[in-house]
Protein backbone atom coordinates (compact mmCIF):
# COMPACT_ATOMS: atom_id res chain seq x y z
CA UNK A 1 0.00 0.00 0.00
CA UNK A 2 2.80 2.44 0.84
CA UNK A 3 4.50 1.80 -2.51
CA UNK A 4 1.27 2.60 -4.36
CA UNK A 5 0.89 5.81 -2.34
CA UNK A 6 4.40 6.86 -3.35
CA UNK A 7 4.32 5.74 -6.99
CA UNK A 8 0.98 7.29 -8.01
CA UNK A 9 1.98 10.93 -7.30
CA UNK A 10 5.32 10.37 -9.06
CA UNK A 11 3.54 8.93 -12.08
CA UNK A 12 1.20 11.92 -12.18
CA UNK A 13 4.16 14.34 -12.09
CA UNK A 14 5.91 12.37 -14.85
CA UNK A 15 2.82 12.58 -17.06
CA UNK A 16 2.50 16.33 -16.52
CA UNK A 17 6.18 16.86 -17.36
CA UNK A 18 5.90 14.67 -20.48
CA UNK A 19 2.89 16.67 -21.70
CA UNK A 20 4.70 19.96 -21.09
CA UNK A 21 7.75 18.70 -22.97
CA UNK A 22 5.65 17.61 -25.93
CA UNK A 23 4.01 21.05 -26.06
CA UNK A 24 7.39 22.81 -26.00
CA UNK A 25 8.85 20.50 -28.67
CA UNK A 26 9.85 21.23 -32.22
CA UNK A 27 7.58 23.02 -34.62
CA UNK A 28 5.63 20.98 -37.17
CA UNK A 29 5.47 21.16 -40.95
CA UNK A 30 1.97 22.65 -40.75
CA UNK A 31 3.22 25.33 -38.35
CA UNK A 32 6.07 26.20 -40.73
CA UNK A 33 3.73 26.54 -43.70
CA UNK A 34 1.33 28.66 -41.64
CA UNK A 35 4.09 30.95 -40.38
CA UNK A 36 5.54 31.47 -43.88
CA UNK A 37 2.07 32.33 -45.21
CA UNK A 38 1.56 34.81 -42.34
CA UNK A 39 4.98 36.31 -43.02
CA UNK A 40 4.24 36.74 -46.72
CA UNK A 41 0.86 38.34 -45.89
CA UNK A 42 2.50 40.67 -43.35
CA UNK A 43 5.14 41.82 -45.86
CA UNK A 44 2.46 42.41 -48.50
CA UNK A 45 0.28 44.38 -46.05
CA UNK A 46 2.97 46.36 -44.22
CA UNK A 47 5.76 46.62 -46.80
CA UNK A 48 9.28 45.27 -46.79
CA UNK A 49 10.75 47.68 -44.24
CA UNK A 50 8.24 46.81 -41.51
CA UNK A 51 7.98 43.20 -42.62
CA UNK A 52 11.70 42.48 -42.57
CA UNK A 53 12.11 44.30 -39.25
CA UNK A 54 9.36 42.21 -37.65
CA UNK A 55 10.80 38.96 -39.04
CA UNK A 56 14.25 39.87 -37.66
CA UNK A 57 12.81 40.90 -34.25
CA UNK A 58 13.70 38.08 -31.82
CA UNK A 59 10.64 38.92 -29.69
CA UNK A 60 8.42 39.29 -32.75
CA UNK A 61 5.48 37.32 -34.03
CA UNK A 62 7.56 35.26 -36.47
CA UNK A 63 9.56 33.26 -33.93
CA UNK A 64 8.11 30.23 -32.15
CA UNK A 65 10.42 27.78 -30.37
CA UNK A 66 12.79 26.48 -33.08
CA UNK A 67 10.70 27.97 -35.92
CA UNK A 68 11.65 31.34 -37.37
CA UNK A 69 11.50 33.04 -40.76
CA UNK A 70 14.30 34.00 -43.12
CA UNK A 71 13.95 36.10 -46.27
CA UNK A 72 16.49 35.78 -49.09
CA UNK A 73 16.77 37.85 -52.22
CA UNK A 74 17.04 35.67 -55.31
CA UNK A 75 20.70 36.73 -55.42
CA UNK A 76 21.38 35.01 -52.04
CA UNK A 77 21.40 38.16 -49.89
CA UNK A 78 19.68 37.79 -46.51
CA UNK A 79 17.00 40.45 -46.17
CA UNK A 80 15.57 39.30 -42.81
CA UNK A 81 16.60 36.57 -40.36
CA UNK A 82 14.64 35.58 -37.26
CA UNK A 83 17.46 33.65 -35.58
CA UNK A 84 20.54 35.74 -36.40
CA UNK A 85 20.25 39.43 -37.25
CA UNK A 86 23.99 39.54 -38.03
CA UNK A 87 23.22 37.66 -41.26
CA UNK A 88 21.03 40.47 -42.63
CA UNK A 89 22.72 42.11 -45.62
CA UNK A 90 25.13 39.22 -46.22
CA UNK A 91 25.25 37.26 -49.43
CA UNK A 92 25.17 33.60 -48.41
CA UNK A 93 24.90 32.11 -51.91
CA UNK A 94 28.02 29.99 -51.32
CA UNK A 95 27.02 28.80 -47.81
CA UNK A 96 27.12 25.01 -47.49
CA UNK A 97 25.79 22.67 -44.85
CA UNK A 98 27.91 20.12 -42.98
CA UNK A 99 27.55 17.68 -45.91
CA UNK A 100 28.71 20.27 -48.46
CA UNK A 101 25.25 21.02 -49.85
CA UNK A 102 25.04 24.59 -51.18
CA UNK A 103 21.56 25.01 -49.72
CA UNK A 104 21.22 28.79 -50.20
CA UNK A 105 22.14 28.49 -53.88
CA UNK A 106 19.66 25.64 -54.25
CA UNK A 107 17.01 27.66 -52.40
CA UNK A 108 17.27 30.71 -54.63
CA UNK A 109 17.35 28.52 -57.75
CA UNK A 110 14.17 26.76 -56.59
CA UNK A 111 12.67 30.17 -55.81
CA UNK A 112 13.27 31.28 -59.39
CA UNK A 113 11.23 28.40 -60.82
CA UNK A 114 8.67 27.49 -58.14
CA UNK A 115 6.09 29.49 -56.21
CA UNK A 116 6.54 27.26 -53.14
CA UNK A 117 8.70 24.31 -52.19
CA UNK A 118 10.27 22.25 -49.39
CA UNK A 119 14.04 21.89 -49.11
CA UNK A 120 16.12 19.48 -46.99
CA UNK A 121 19.58 20.17 -45.57
CA UNK A 122 21.38 20.25 -42.22
CA UNK A 123 21.56 23.31 -39.97
CA UNK A 124 22.15 24.31 -36.35
CA UNK A 125 18.95 24.19 -34.29
CA UNK A 126 18.78 27.47 -32.31
CA UNK A 127 17.25 25.65 -29.33
CA UNK A 128 19.54 22.61 -29.05
CA UNK A 129 22.61 24.26 -30.65
CA UNK A 130 23.22 20.97 -32.51
CA UNK A 131 23.48 20.46 -36.26
CA UNK A 132 20.34 18.56 -37.22
CA UNK A 133 18.41 17.59 -40.37
CA UNK A 134 16.09 20.43 -41.36
CA UNK A 135 13.25 20.82 -43.83
CA UNK A 136 12.40 24.33 -44.87
CA UNK A 137 9.23 25.52 -46.55
CA UNK A 138 9.62 28.55 -48.83
CA UNK A 139 7.32 30.77 -50.84
CA UNK A 140 8.43 33.18 -53.54
CA UNK A 141 7.37 36.78 -53.03
CA UNK A 142 8.42 38.95 -55.94
CA UNK A 143 12.25 38.70 -56.10
CA UNK A 144 12.56 37.00 -52.69
CA UNK A 145 11.88 33.71 -50.95
CA UNK A 146 10.30 33.70 -47.49
CA UNK A 147 11.22 30.55 -45.60
CA UNK A 148 10.56 28.79 -42.31
CA UNK A 149 12.00 25.45 -41.35
CA UNK A 150 11.50 22.55 -39.00
CA UNK A 151 14.11 20.38 -37.36
CA UNK A 152 13.65 16.63 -37.56
Domain ranges of the chain: 27-151
Return the closest-CA partner of residue 62 out of 88, 46, 90, 83: 83
Q: Return the pLDDT at 24.
A: 60
Cβ(123)–Cβ(97) under 8 Å? yes
Largest CA distance in the chain: 70
What CATH number labels 27-151?
3.30.450.20
pLDDT one-digit tens code per residue, 100-133: 999 999 999 999 999 999 999 999 888 889 999 9
Q: Which of 88, 91, 107 is nearest to 49 (CA)?
A: 88
User: What's the pLDDT tens digit per position in 17-68?
Assistant: 333 333 468 999 999 999 999 999 999 999 999 999 999 999 999 999 999 9
123: left (phi over 0), alpha (psi -120 to 50) or beta: beta
Amino acid sequence: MKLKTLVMPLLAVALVLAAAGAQAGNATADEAVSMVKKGVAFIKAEGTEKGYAEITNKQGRFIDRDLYLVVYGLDGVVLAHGANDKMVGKNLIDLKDIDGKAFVKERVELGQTKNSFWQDYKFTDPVTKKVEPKSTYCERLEATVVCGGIYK
